[in-house]
Amino acid sequence: MERKNLWAPWRIKYIQGLPKQSDCFLCDYLSTPDKDRDNLILWRTEHAMVVFNKFPYNNGHLLVAPVRHIATLDDASDTELLCLMSLVRDCQKALSLAIGPHGFNVGMNFGRCAGAGLPDHLHIHVVPRWNGDTNYMHVCSDTDVISQGLQELYDQLLEVSQKENLPRKNHE
């Protein structure tokens, strides 16, 4: 049987960046507000931020994280928890307006054994989904097909955010 290659050249940035990154890329991003576009930080609030997952499972995969470097829900204040959930709501609205998903997966992973790639900084995944978006690529080769570039969607969500006054400020 002939062996075929599936090229994923975007993965090399992730692989090469692993030893160079500090213990927490979210904290690194938060410390450089002048690089929000490069780091794909969509929104910052007093207590939390929204950033694109640079290695997404699906187009529009966002991460909502507290500004404080905390690992668990027990570590979060009520204000931080409210802000995080308000931003999840606002992410869903912005993504719905920009790219029209049929649904969302929203979730959290605590500990490496549960799938947390960054176990020491609490974050919530917001993943847009479409009917029928589980295709043969993922099923057969554990490969995700991402249909839109991160910068293009970043610009699209910024535009929607401005029009819709997102994130809403009632949680600050």
pTM of the model: 0.75
Is 69 considered catalytic here? Answer: no
Domain boundaries, the chain: 24-171
The whole-number average pLDDT for the span 37-57 is: 93
Instruction: Give the bridge partners for 127, in sequence order.
Output: 105
C-beta of residue 56 within 8 angstroms of C-beta of residue 144: yes
Among candidate residues 47, 61, 121, 123, the one labeled active-site is 123
Neighbours of 47 (CB within 10 A): 20
Instruction: Give the bridge partners for 105, in sequence order.
Output: 127
The model's pLDDT over 142-155, given as tens digits with 9 standing for 90+, comes to 566 666 778 888 88
The answer to whether domain 24-171 has CATH 3.40.5.50 is no
How many angstroms separate the CA atoms of 38 and 29, rounded? Answer: 9
Q: Which of 70-79, 141-150, 158-167 has the lowest mean pLDDT?
A: 141-150
The model's pLDDT over 100-159, given as tens digits with 9 standing for 90+, comes to 999 999 999 888 777 777 889 999 999 999 887 765 445 455 566 666 778 888 888 899
The model's pLDDT over 10-35, given as tens digits with 9 standing for 90+, comes to 667 666 665 455 579 999 999 999 99
With the C-alpha atoms ordered 55, 28, 69, 169, is the resulting torsion angle positive or negative? negative
